[in-house]
Amino acid sequence: MKAVVLHEYGGPDKLLYEDVPDPVASQGEVLVRMAATSVNPIDFKLRSGMMKAFWPLELPTILGRDIAGIVRAVGDSVTGFKPGDKVMAVGSKAYAELAVVAAKDLAFIPEDLDLVKAAALPVVTQTGEQLITRAAKIQPGQTVLISGAVGGVGRSAVWTAKKAGAKVIAGVRKSQIKEAESLGADQVLALDDAAAIDKLGFVDTVADTVGGQTGQKLIGKVKQGGIYASVVGPSRQRQHAPDREDRGSPVKTRRINAANHGGGCRCRAAGDSDRSNGSPRRSGEGPGSRRKRWNWENFVTSVTVEL
């Protein structure tokens, strides 16, 4: 088969289109004929070597996480899938004509969804869902501000938070307000409007998909004991909270270790017990429903604000 292969860390020029051996589906796995994949931030970070200190690659390798295509073959003990099924998943080695995926990680693609469009969904929807359920740990009735709400991760986070019973504030640019009004959030806030930010009261949680100066501003809006969760990297140990005029000292934060708390860096989720036989998840089971979480290394960070 043809694949895009990375032989050494570096820029896009290090990706070479080559012939490689066809993968074979082993027990519990499914061979998928790829229709499309997508490029996510995790891909260029791995390719460039930005993450090699804690996530080294065994080179040469094939990158890519989003999988969308048609089942070519199934391995032993796989039930629920057959050749010809349209499926999607978060997997690995997706920059290729064929990819092998654990059956328990696959989901059916709805009949009315284009295969190419489906390839843009797995990573972002999984990330947004985990941002809310595992990092922010939203509870019914809480107020959460989601930055970058019209982006792929942001939209998934809004959907998940609403399903969890939270009051959702969609944080966007002024130019995106009209688009954001269709998301189903309880409120839309222009994050590039200083006056609007000033009027915003404290919230239980900030779920940040933007970072940078926006993240710095929003952490000051988290109430005492609240959560600041992010998918764009760890927050600093100490953050200044300019909106707390009566408390000029930095906000103390405590990093939550994903391995111990299930909501942060490099979290690998296990499947639901009722999916242990590799049975598929139906396409109607969206983010936040009772299902097997995508089995991949997701990067989210959450900190608790302690004043």
Kindly give the confidence (pLDDT) of every residue in the chain, 307 residues in length, as a single tens digit, with 9 standing for 90 and above: 999 999 999 999 999 999 999 999 999 999 999 999 999 989 999 999 998 998 999 999 999 999 999 999 999 999 999 999 999 999 999 999 999 999 999 999 999 999 999 999 999 999 999 999 999 999 999 999 999 999 999 999 999 999 999 999 999 999 999 999 999 999 999 999 999 999 999 999 999 999 888 888 898 899 988 999 998 865 453 344 444 433 333 333 333 333 223 333 222 222 222 333 334 444 444 433 333 333 333 445 555 554 4
The pLDDT value given to residue 1:
97
Q: How far is CA 12 from CA 3, 46, 287, in A?
A: 14, 11, 32
- Are 32 and 98 within 8 A, CB to CB? yes
Mean pLDDT of the chain: 81
- Are 191 and 173 within 8 A, CB to CB? yes
The pLDDT value given to residue 211:
87
Three-class HEC string of the chain: CEEEEECCCCCHHHEEEEECCCCCCCCCEEEEEEEECCCCHHHHHHHHCCCCCCCCCCCCEECCCEEEEEEEEECCCCCCCCCCCEEEEECCCCCECEEEEEHHHCEECCCCCCHHHHCCCHHHHHHHHHHHHHHHCCCCCCEEEEECCCCHHHHHHHHHHHHCCCEEEEEECHHHHHHHCCCCCCEEEECCCHHHHHHCCCEEEEEECCCHHHHHHHHCCEEEEEEEEECCCCCCCEECCCCCCCCCCCEEEEECCHHHHCCCCCECCCCCHHHCCCCCECCCCCCCCCCCCCCCCECCEEEEEEC
For the domain 124-265+298-306, what is the CATH superfamily, name and number? NAD(P)-binding Rossmann-like Domain (3.40.50.720)
Range(s) within the chain of domains with CATH label 3.90.180.10: 2-120
Range(s) within the chain of domains with CATH label 3.40.50.720: 124-265+298-306
CATH 3.90.180.10 fits 2-120, yes or no: yes
The pLDDT value given to residue 232:
80
Residue with tokens 């595992």: 134
CA distance 147 to 205: 11
Global pTM reads 0.75
The pLDDT value given to residue 270:
24
Q: pLDDT for 73-100, tens place per residue?
A: 999 999 999 999 999 999 999 999 999 9
Percent of the chain with pLDDT over 70: 76
CA distance 15 to 54: 22
Sign of torsion over alpha carbons 23, 25, 28, 32: positive
Backbone Cα Rg of the chain: 20
